[in-house]
Amino acid sequence: MTEQSLLNFTDELLESSWLYCAICKDILKPPIMLVETIGNICTTCLEETEVTNLKSMNNSALENVLSLLKLPCKFKLKGCMERCSYGKLSFHQNNCKFRTKICPMQKVSGCEWEGSSLDFADHFKQCHGDHVINFENDLFFLQTSLTERNVVKLLVMKQHTYMLRMQNNLEKNKIFYVICSLTDDYNSFCEYAVKHKGASDNYIKTKSKILSSYFIYDDIDESIAVEIDINALKQIAQVSDTITNIFKIKLEDSLAETMDEKILHFFECPVCKNFMKPPIYQCHSGHSLCNLCRPRLEKCPTCRSTFGNTRNYSLEGLTVGVMYPCIYHDSGCAEIGSASDILKHESECSFKPYSCPFPSCNSSDMQRQI
C-alpha cells in the first residue's frame, strides 16, 4: 500500500466509528478494551466508568492497525495540517500551536483565559502586567517567598520573551523551576544562569537551557526542571523566607566557549556553582569544593562522606594558569584575572552587593545603584 493509499484508508476509517472510543468519542488510546454491549473504549474511560461488571477483552488487533496509521491532529479544523503516528500524536497535540491553551495564571489567580499560543503573550501583558519582568542591565531581578507555591512570570527582552514557572515543594524541601520559550524559534534556545540569594553575600547558582513552549501550559515536570535544595539555600545563602533571584540569559549568538571557559567548568564548586580558588578542599572520597562552602557543610554533598582538612593541592596548582571572571559577573561585571588578582578586585567591585545601613533592614542591593 502506497503512502497516499494509506492516508486515504486512514481517512475512511476516521469517517466511520471504528477508531473512536464509544464513551469519550476521542480517538482510541492503547490499550484498547472491547466491552460487551458498549464496544471499544480507551483505558481512561474503562477506569472512570462503572463497567467493571461487564465482560471485556483487549482488542490487540485494532491496536496493531492503529499503530500503522498516520493520524491527523485534532486541531485540523483550526488550521493544523500535521499527521503523526499514534505514538507521537499525543505529544504533538499537547504542543500544537493551534491548540487552545489555558493561562498558567489559573492556579495563581484563577484566570479563566483560553486561547491560541499566538495570542498568549498579548493576553499576559494586558491582564497580568504586575507579573511581567523587563530586562534591566542585562539581567532579570525577581524576589520570591518560600510561602509562594506557584510563581509565574513573563520575562521580556528586546527581541525575545520567555516564561518563568517556579514551584515550591515544601514536602520535598525543594524548589523547581523552568524557563520556556514562547515562540520556539531557533534563536530562543539559549543558556541562562541564576543566582539565588538571601540575607548574606553568599548565594547558590543554578544554570540550564531554555525549554520548549510545551512546558508553559502543563504542570511542571520535576524530572526536567531545575532543582534547588531549600536546606542548602538556608545554610549557604542564609534564606529565611525571601529569596532574591538574579537571572542572566546568554543568547545563542554568544554561546561559543573560549578555552578558559571550558577549563573553568572543572573548577565549579558542586554546592554554590562558583569557581573554586585556593584553598580548595576535598572530602575523604576525593570530591572538591570551595573554601566558602566547606565550613558550612558537615558532609560531602556528592557522596555524603565526612570531611577532614584535606586540601586538593593538585587542583590548586592548576589554578595558576586560569583566568577567573569576577564572582559578580552575573550582575554585570566584566573583570577577569588570576585567582589572587580577582580576589582583590572582588573585595572592592562596584557590582558587589551592599547591606542597608539601617539595623532593622535586611535588604541588600548593588553599590552601583546607590
What's the CA gap between 294 and 118, in Å, rounded? 49
Q: Please check the confidence at residue 270 and state whether its pLDDT lies above 50.
A: yes
pLDDT digit string, tens, across residues 339-361 = 889 889 988 888 887 666 666 66
pLDDT, position 369: 39
| CATH code of domain 259-369 | 3.30.40.10
Task: Name the 3-class secondary structure at 242.
Answer: strand
Three-state helix/strand/coil letters over 172-192: CCEEEEEEEECCCCHHHCCEE
Q: Please check the confidence at residue 74 and state whether its pLDDT lies above 50.
A: yes
H/E run at residue 317: helix 313-318
Name the pLDDT band for 370 (thresholds 50, 70, 90).
Answer: very low
Q: Which fold, 101-254?
A: 2.60.210
pLDDT, position 265: 77
Instruction: Give, in words, the CATH class of 3-68.
Output: alpha beta
Q: Are 29 and 93 in contact (CB under 8 A)?
A: no
pLDDT, position 184: 60
pLDDT, position 1: 57
Q: What is the DSSP string of 182-239?
A: SS--GGG--EEEEEEE-SSS-EEEEEEEPBPGGGTSS---TTTSEEEEHHHHHHHS--
Most confident of 83-87, 163-167, 189-193: 163-167
> What share of the chain in percent tops pLDDT 70?
89
Name the pLDDT band for 325 (thresholds 50, 70, 90).
Answer: confident
Q: Please check the confidence at residue 49 and state whether its pLDDT lies above 90.
A: no
Q: Please check the confidence at residue 9 and state whether its pLDDT lies above 90.
A: no
Length of the chain: 370
pLDDT digit string, tens, across residues 151-176 = 999 999 888 899 999 999 989 999 99
pLDDT, position 124: 95
Give me 99's grid cell. 491548540
Cα-Cα end-to-end distance for the chain: 74
More confident residue, 227 or 365: 227
Q: Are 176 and 225 in contact (CB under 8 A)?
A: yes
Task: Name the 3-class secondary structure at 310.
Answer: strand
What's the CA gap between 28 and 41, in Å, rounded? 7
Which residue do the cell numbers 513552549 mark? 213
Domain residue ranges in the chain:
3-68, 101-254, 259-369
What's the CA gap between 246 and 143, in Å, rounded? 9
Q: Please check the confidence at residue 365 and state whether its pLDDT lies above 70.
A: no
Please indicate whether the domains covering 101-254 and 259-369 agree at the CATH topology level: no
